[in-house]
């Protein structure tokens, strides 16, 4: 027989449990906010706006974008980590917020694994290594052969570009000076003018410049061919083990109830299955990622460890 004090405690808790279950059954009853921890016009923001309308259709409620930029995504991530776990707050999370910030920022007000529940992956894209049009070598192997023994410069506008440069220098045994820029666009401009030997550009921007003849797209950073540009070889063809990408996902506050997470995952799955949405991703240089929420949670943990190794290789000290 159950002790009287436990029976009483269960009876007191029952109304709250019933209210919670009813709220979950009725969810969603109002618009859902999708926090973007970067400013309007950023790559993360563009993808969020592509996702919001079809996800809103799948959930039968509007999905409203809320930009909360600052500190390389930290401001927005902290907002979501502390938000009510009621299914009405989501966040666009990417490589920098989930896997790079924890290793480059000393006081981080969130834990990417503990404070968020994965809803699902959306898309990924590689970095593209670009060089001036007149750079030596007909292909990646030829360029690497000509580059060894020279003093080279690589411009970067973010931690990802800095890390890619350090990986390239280490794996290809290159003498490389890393030159910081305020943004990747400025570094790309200086490569096209021949003032820099190379940069790792965002895939869409780098390929646009390459197709215009302003730079040469020498290789991309994924470990396998990228379906949107099969003509651009992986760096891994010459440097086995070189594999890195920029990826994007949707997460919720960690304590969000399981049934709501399952409903969100199902809605995301329907969006990713739409041909029109896939075509829009392709148009922005992104390839859809097919991964369950559980599988993506495991992927995030592997990425966190992997980028930690890369940050140490780059010699970046936490700030």
In this prediction, residue 150 carries a pLDDT of: 94
Average pLDDT for 178-185: 90
Whether 256 is in a domain gets the answer: yes
- 130 within 8 A of 188, measured Cβ to Cβ: yes
CATH no. for residue 67? 3.40.190.150
Contacts of residue 36, defined as CB under 8 A and 6 or more positions apart, other chains included, come to 42, 44, 45, 48, 65, 66, 67, 68, 69, 76, 91, 92
225 and 306 share one domain: no
Q: Does some domain include residue 26?
A: no
Residue with tokens 């776990």: 85
Say yes or no to pLDDT of 128 above 50.
yes
Confidence of residue 5 (pLDDT cuts 50, 70, 90): low
Residue 14 lies in a domain: no
pLDDT of residue 115: 98
Burial of residue 8, with CB atoms counted within 10 A of its CB: 0-12 exposed, 13-18 middle, 19 or more buried: exposed
- The verdict on 66 and 154 lying in the same domain is no
319 domain residue, yes or no:
no
Percent residues over pLDDT 70 in the chain = 92
Residues 263 and 186 both lie in one domain: no
Least confident window among 3-17, 96-110, 116-130: 3-17
Domain-terminating residue out of 216, 237, 258: 237
Mean pLDDT along residues 227-253? 96
Confidence at residue 19, expressed as pLDDT on a 0 to 100 scale: 45
Residue 18 confidence (pLDDT) above 50? no
* CA 221/CA 224 separation, integer angstroms: 8
pLDDT of res. 85: 98
Which pLDDT band holds residue 182 (cuts at 50, 70, 90)? confident
**pTM for the whole thing?**
0.85
Say if 13 falls within a structural domain.
no
For residue 264, pLDDT over 90 is answered with yes
Same domain (yes/no): 162, 201: yes
Strands 175-180 and 151-156: parallel
Asked if residue 304 and residue 227 are part of one domain, the reply reads: no
Most confident range (mean pLDDT) of 4-13, 45-54, 180-189 is 45-54
Q: Give tens-digit pLDDT for 162-177.
A: 999 999 999 999 999 9
With respect to residue 19, please indicate whether it lies within any of the assigned structural domains: no
* Domain count of the fold of the chain: 2
SS3 at position 125: strand
Domain identity same for 117 and 132: no
Averaged pLDDT, 119-134? 96
Domain that holds residue 70: 31-123+246-314
Q: Answer yes or no: do 132 and 78 share one domain.
A: no
pLDDT over 70 (residue 11): no
Does residue 23 register a pLDDT over 90? no
Task: Quote the percentage of the chain above a pLDDT of 90.
Answer: 84
Mean pLDDT of 43-58: 96
Mean pLDDT of the chain: 92
In a domain, 4, yes or no: no
pLDDT at 7: 60
pLDDT at 61 exceeding the cut of 90: yes
Nearest to 169 by CA among 213, 129, 133, 138: 129
Structural domain contains residue 1: no
Other C-beta atoms closer than 10 Å to the C-beta of 276 total 8
Sheet with strand 216-220: strands edge to edge: 175-180, 151-156, 198-202, 127-131, 216-220
What is the reported pLDDT for 16? 43
What mean pLDDT do residues 219-243 have?
A: 95
Average pLDDT over residues 64-78: 96
* 233 and 250 in a common domain: no
Task: Using the CB atoms, write b or e for 77-95: b if 16+ within 10 Å.
Answer: bbbbbebebbbbbbbbbbb
Structure tokens at 50: 């592509």
Q: What is the CATH classification number for the domain harbouring 209? A: 3.40.190.10
Residue 150 and residue 169 in one domain: yes
pLDDT(219) > 70:
yes
**Shared domain check, 148 and 117:** no
Q: Which of 237, 261, 290 is the last residue of a domain?
A: 237
Model confidence over 272-315: pLDDT tens digits?
Answer: 999 999 999 999 999 999 899 999 999 999 999 999 999 998 88
What tokens were used for 10? 């269960």
| Predicted local confidence at residue 234, as pLDDT | 97
Same-domain check for residues 115 and 131: no
CA distance 143 to 239: 13
Residue at a domain's end among 183, 204, 237: 237
Do 197 and 137 belong together in one domain?
Answer: yes
């Amino acid at each position: 027989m159950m002790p009287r004090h436990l029976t009483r405690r269960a009876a007191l808790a029952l109304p709250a449990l019933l209210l919670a279950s009813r709220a979950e059954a009725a969810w969603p009853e109002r618009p859902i906010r999708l926090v973007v921890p970067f400013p309007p016009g950023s790559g993360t923001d563009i993808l969020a706006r592509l996702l919001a309308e079809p996800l809103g259709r799948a959930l039968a409620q509007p999905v409203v974008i809320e930009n909360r930029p600052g500190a390389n995504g930290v401001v927005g991530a902290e907002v979501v980590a502390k938000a009510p776990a009621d299914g009405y707050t989501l966040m666009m999370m990417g490589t920098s917020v989930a896997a790079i910030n924890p290793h480059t920022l000393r006081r981080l007000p969130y834990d990417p694994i503990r404070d968020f529940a994965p809803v699902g992956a959306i898309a990924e894209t590689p970095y593209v290594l670009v060089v001036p049009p007149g750079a030596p070598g007909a292909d990646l192997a030829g360029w690497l052969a000509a580059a060894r023994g020279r003093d080279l410069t690589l411009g970067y506008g973010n931690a990802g570009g800095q890390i890619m440069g350090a990986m390239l220098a280490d794996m290809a045994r290159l003498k490389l000076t890393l030159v910081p820029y305020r943004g990747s666009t400025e570094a790309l401009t200086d490569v096209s003018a021949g003032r820099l030997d190379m940069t790792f550009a965002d895939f869409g921007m780098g390929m646009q410049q390459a197709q215009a003849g302003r730079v040469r797209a020498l290789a991309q950073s994924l470990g396998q061919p990228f379906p949107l540009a099969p003509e651009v070889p992986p760096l891994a063809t010459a440097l086995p083990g070189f594999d890195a990408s920029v990826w994007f996902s949707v997460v919720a506050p960690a304590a969000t109830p399981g049934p709501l997470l399952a409903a969100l995952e199902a809605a995301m799955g329907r969006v990713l299955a739409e041909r029109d949405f896939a075509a829009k991703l392709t148009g922005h240089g992104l390839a859809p990622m097919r991964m369950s929420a559980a599988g993506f949670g495991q992927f995030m943990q592997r990425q966190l460890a992997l980028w930690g190794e890369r940050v140490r290789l780059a010699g970046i000290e936490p700030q």
